[in-house]
A and B are shown apart, each in its own frame.
Chain A
Amino acid sequence: MTRAAKFADKLLYLVSPALLLGLWQALLMMGYGDRRFIPAPTDIFWRFISVVSTGELEQHVAVTLWRTFAGYFIGAIPGIAVGLLMAMFRPVRIFFDPLIAMLFPIPKVALMPLLLLAFGFGDASKIALVATGVFFPVVVNTYAGAANIDRIYWDVAKNYGASQWIVFSRIVLFGAMPMIFAGLRIALAVAFIVLIASEFVATKTGLGFLIWNSWQLMEVDFMFAGIVTIGLLGLIFSVVFDWIEKRAVPWKLRDRG
């Protein structure tokens, strides 16, 4: 693909959000909707600037990020390990299968009261919730990726004298890598969803608290600033994630554009 074409793609990427914002602003300025309840993008923007300059927003963002990442790693690393072991060893698979089938469909927010009991009102309960939410999509995708590794690669490994450890670290892990990344990507969204929802209650910090609290105080523009922040964080993570995936899975067939 030429540079100009790449640039055109990037521009196109911005068209749909710009249209949405433009339409939103225009409708409000034409008098459809009450700006006290539905602030215009410009209102949100100015509020956003002011809360960033006081440092108020950053505090909440920092707390939310810490909980997200702590929970994400605590959930994802065992998720990957268990998924790979399930693909390699039948007993492990038989042990975990019913557990996963039973626990995966439970909406993880429903566990919040239980986790508050177990871990208290501090960060630990939120981190535990994120970890549980992250574990399941990661373990399921990792297992699917490892179990679908083409038989010939197991054959080659065996014929060329690979030990269990080499099969695990050089074949199963890498063979499952594209699916592991698919799982990690889903898990990142899940992490945000359950965390923000859990921050609505039983805490005085985090973006979820900010949104819920400003809603109760009828500071709708502040609430929207919180929502926009989550959107921006999502966008940043998506870009960073792509960057990491390209380097971690360099053999993945990409479109040759």
Chain B
Amino acid sequence: MPLPMLPVPMRIRRRVKETADTFTIELEPPDGTFAFEPGQFNMLYVFGVGEVPISISGDVSRRDVLVHTIRDVGTVTHALGRLKKGDWVGVRGPYGRGWPMKIAKGRDVILAAGGIGLAPLRPAIREVLDNRDDYGRVVVFYGARTPGDLLYPKEVVKWRARLDAKVSVTVDRADRTWHGNVGVITQLVSAARTDASRTVAMVCGPEIMMHYMRIHLAKLGIADEAIYVSMERNMKCAIGRCGHCQYGGDFICKDGPVFTFAEVESRFRIRSL
């Protein structure tokens, strides 16, 4: 039996700079295949530095490569950012309960990401767009701080060009090059035009963003049971035994990270939980 805390070293095949503080690494699974579900995450380990939870951002249909998009915010993510092609990263995973892809089949889907929140949501967006016929109306909202902070810009342009999906992007602060929406992501919501009773919403961003998104989605008539959010807490083990990711009675690492808003609603109102 493999030991649950032992990482598997994987080599970096490619490294892409996304924005000033964000980069994407593509890893080679040693046996050539790595299966996961949208919304799941891995524990990424840098030799001698530490280990952090990072969502899987690639395509579920591409099993030969493992894609992670990471924002440099501290010790471990900074060390990850300094690694080059050919360097090794320790990987444990995939972990957690991801986005409700099965439940979303046949329904209208709203996918809303704030900032780095697009990284965990990207596999779900791709899954929906690649199997477009399986879904009703598809709406993608994406908000970033500035135009320079937008992730996967080329890919987002392709999404926007599609006639079978509504993709809206907004930035908090624009610069001279920006011709799109300016303002918070929630202002986009009223234009969703989905059938509320058969809509599934997947929301990923800072807690405050998810909180306001839910208020706006509720205004459209979407029930808390159909709004999914991805939660974040400190994580050391990802297998339910270090205790760090507790969120009331749930371990975010194994009971989440994705929850329905109905599941977390009462906890959202408890400060510092």
Indicate whether A and B interact. Answer: no
Report which A residues bind B (CB closer than 8 A): none
